[in-house]
Structure 1
Amino acid sequence: MMQLIVALALWGLVSALVVGTRRRTDQSILYAAIMIALSLTLNIDAVYFAADGLLGGRNYADLPANLLLLLGIYFLSRAILRASSPSRANASARPFRIGAIITAGLMVTTFIFIDAPTTSGTFMQDFGNQPAAAAYSLIQFIYLGIVMALTGMICLRFAARMSTPARRLGFRIVGAGCGAAVLTVLSVVGMDLAHVFGAMSLLALFASAYDVLNLTAILLLCFGLSLPPILGGVSTRFNRRKLEAALPDLTRIWVDVSAQHLELGGVAHPNAPGSVSRDVDTVVHRMLVEIRDALLLNPTARDRLSDEDLALLTATETRIGAQRTSA
């Protein structure tokens, strides 16, 4: 049940990120979320047994699942670091990349030496007493712990600099999720060592902590990463309705200004019949530019506008700026 909840949370994050695809130029977070979602979907017993059956029924499906998780976390951390602190992202790019390559290579090497002849839905529980299995898990999670620790610290440090309240809150929640992920890694390390050395009471203690910490980390990360696109979409729709409501008054102002026979570049009225259809953001932006240009060329045209008209222009410019910031 826990595996299903985790997988559904990740696919929920993917869905939220897909909603904001058109507003983002960098889709790295979406691709990373898909990789992690696929990895954790393979942890669902029914899916894992089916996939492993296709690969020969010797737990070969565990390796691609964990490699997908490794790559997903790597690309996710890179995307988060670029969004929060490009300079830190550039500084850590080479070490992160080299670390991911070395970790993946060591995971493949150690996996070869694990004796796991039958498909198991509890891979580490059944085979984790083997030194090769412990090394396979430790190598992966130590790298993930380092990456998540650095990512979390930078998220919390630079959250206040994010451009919108949704992003600021989202980055703080992601930072908390990274902290929970680091604690999850520590519990995995504890389980691996306890299993190898036969400390079964400690193994049970670390296992119970892992269940809580892992779910907490996943839910916090998913919620934090999905918050900006969800709230950004809501804000965009709200602002668009406001722009649509302001459009008749803006059109009247445009006509009042153009009635002064100002040269506005010879372009047609943005809402004139036969003009190219555009979304309201583009129409309003063009109107504002033409109105401001007209007022700049002929300051006396301002006398034709009331205080309410000028306030509407200022408020609409602010709203257009907010639209572009949240995009």
Structure 2
Amino acid sequence: MIQDIAAAVIWCLALCLLPDIKRRKDQSILAAAITIATALTLNVDRIYIAGDQLLGNRNLLDLVANIFMVIGIYFLSRAILRAADVSETVDIHNRVGQSVLGIVVVALIVSFSLVDAPRTSTSFMRDYGSQWPAAVYSGVQFLYIGAVVAITGFTCFRFRGEMAKPYFRVAFVFIGLGCALAVVLVLAVLGMDVLHLMGELEAMSRLSYVYDAAEVGAMVFLCVGLALPPVARRLERRSDARAAAVLVEQLSEPWDRITSERSELRLNLTQTAIDRRDAPKRRLHRMLVEIQDALFVDPHLAQLLSQNDLDVLRKAEEYLGARLAGPEHRGTRLPGNGGMNP
């Protein structure tokens, strides 16, 4: 049941990220969500049993799922670290991270091949964890996950204050808390592995409750933190579009008066009313430019503008100026923000 909940939460995150796939230049966070969700889905009992039968009933699907998990954790960490730290050292860390990931995958394959697991088991470590190769198999995976999420969580808390928008700062706090719970999960797993080797099955069973709670908590906090920026950004874009549409309507009359004698250069509202989210903003920008050009060519046209018209022009200039300037903080780089730029 825990695996079902965790997988569903991650798939929900992937669905939240899909609408902005064309706007994002870096797809690491989407790759992470899909990969981790796939790993968790493969561990759902009924799916695991059916899949492992196709692979010869040797628990190969457990190996496949765990490889997907460490790859997903790598992509997750890379996306968050890129968002938080824009320095050139991030690319160097990525190359090191890829090398470490390769070593971890090889270690998983080698240690798994040494485990005597003759039949399909939906509780692989509970059934075979008394073997040293199985303990190494689990330890390699979770030591890697623990190290990666610890670095990621520390980075989130370190850079959260530098995010431009409040929802980015909140998102980084949620992600940091999710990473902290993931570290608790890792410690619980390592503890269970040691207890299993020692034959302390009752203590291992009690510690499994900590693992279950930490897994659900980590997934929820991480998914909320990662889903918040794209959802908030989409709402922000809709609000911007509505504000621009209102200004277009208010500016239409003075624009018509000022540009009526320059019809060859006027904006064709019908042609520009395309089905795009930023269409109102583009129309507003074009109308403002045409008014300014007309006033530059013939300053006397300013007499046709009332005080209310001037107020609308000022609002339009302030609106476009604020959005064209763009935030200078790192908040525009958070994964899932519909792109690397505002």
> Alignment partner of 1:71: what SS?
helix
2:316 to 308, 313, 316: 313
How many Å apart are 1:133 and its aligned residue? Answer: 0.5
Q: Across the two proteins, how many residue pairs are aligned to each other?
A: 323
CA deviations over 1:93-140 (Å, ceiling 9, x no partner): 122111101000100000000111111111111111110011001001
Greater displacement, 46-55 / 89-98: 89-98
Q: Tell me the distance in 2 between the aligned counterparts of 1:305 and 1:157.
A: 51
Partner AA of 1:205 in structure 2: R
Q: Residue 137 of structure 1 aligns with which residue?
A: 138
Q: Residue 52 of structure 1 aligns with which residue?
A: 52
Written as runs of structure 1 = structure 2, the 5 A alignment for 1:185-264 is 185-258=186-259
Q: Tell me the distance in 1 between the aligned counterparts of 2:139 and 2:235.
A: 42
TM-score with structure 2 length normalisation?
0.86
2:267 to 245, 266, 269: 269
CA deviations over 1:141-183 (Å, ceiling 9, x no partner): 1111111111111111112222322222111111111111111
Identical columns (%) = 38
Greater displacement, 250-259 / 20-29: 250-259
In structure 1, stretches of 5+ residues that fail to align are none
Written as runs of structure 1 = structure 2, the 5 A alignment for 1:58-207 is 58-87=58-87, 88-207=89-208
Q: Tell me the distance in 1 between the aligned counterparts of 2:84 and 2:157.
A: 9
CA deviations over 1:35-82 (Å, ceiling 9, x no partner): 000000011101111110111111110011000011111011111111
Q: Tell me the distance in 2 between the aligned counterparts of 1:195 and 1:15.
A: 38
Tell me, yes or no, if the aligned pair for 2:251 and 2:313 is still in contact at 8 Å. Answer: no
Query: Residue 164 and residue 198 in structure 1: after superposition, are their counterparts in 2 closer, same or farther (change >3 A)?
Result: same
Query: Residue 318 and residue 195 in structure 1: after superposition, are their counterparts in 2 closer, same or farther (change >3 A)?
Result: farther
Tell me, yes or no, if the aligned pair for 1:239 and 1:319 is still in contact at 8 Å. Answer: no
Greater displacement, 84-93 / 293-302: 293-302
Q: Tell me the distance in 2 between the aligned counterparts of 1:276 and 1:248.
A: 13
Query: Residue 311 and residue 70 in structure 1: after superposition, are their counterparts in 2 closer, same or farther (change >3 A)?
Result: same
* Highest RCO, 1 vs 2 (Cα 8 Å, sep ≥ 6): 2
> Alignment partner of 1:86: what SS?
coil
Tell me, yes or no, if the aligned pair for 2:266 and 2:290 is still in contact at 8 Å. Answer: no
1:25 corresponds to 2:29: no
TM-score with structure 1 length normalisation?
0.89
Partner AA of 1:52 in structure 2: D
Q: Tell me the distance in 2 between the aligned counterparts of 1:317 and 1:105.
A: 53
CA deviations over 1:240-280 (Å, ceiling 9, x no partner): 1222222122333433443586xx9x644141x45573622
Q: Residue 7 of structure 2 aligns with which residue?
A: 7
Query: Residue 73 and residue 23 in structure 1: after superposition, are their counterparts in 2 closer, same or farther (change >3 A)?
Result: same
How many Å apart are 1:323 and its aligned residue? Answer: 9.0
Q: Tell me the distance in 1 between the aligned counterparts of 2:312 and 2:191.
A: 67
> Alignment partner of 1:141: what SS?
helix
Query: Residue 60 and residue 268 in structure 1: after superposition, are their counterparts in 2 closer, same or farther (change >3 A)?
Result: same
> Alignment partner of 2:22: what SS?
helix
CA deviations over 1:264-301 (Å, ceiling 9, x no partner): 9x644141x45573622332233344445556677776
How many Å apart are 1:3 and its aligned residue? Answer: 1.2
Q: Tell me the distance in 2 between the aligned counterparts of 1:182 and 1:315.
A: 46
Tell me, yes or no, if the aligned pair for 1:270 and 1:283 is still in contact at 8 Å. Answer: no
Q: Tell me the distance in 2 between the aligned counterparts of 1:74 and 1:4.
A: 22
Partner AA of 1:158 in structure 2: F
Query: Residue 322 and residue 9 in structure 1: after superposition, are their counterparts in 2 closer, same or farther (change >3 A)?
Result: farther
In structure 2, stretches of 5+ residues that fail to align are none
Tell me, yes or no, if the aligned pair for 1:288 and 1:313 is still in contact at 8 Å. Answer: yes
Q: Tell me the distance in 1 between the aligned counterparts of 2:306 and 2:135.
A: 75
> Alignment partner of 1:158: what SS?
helix
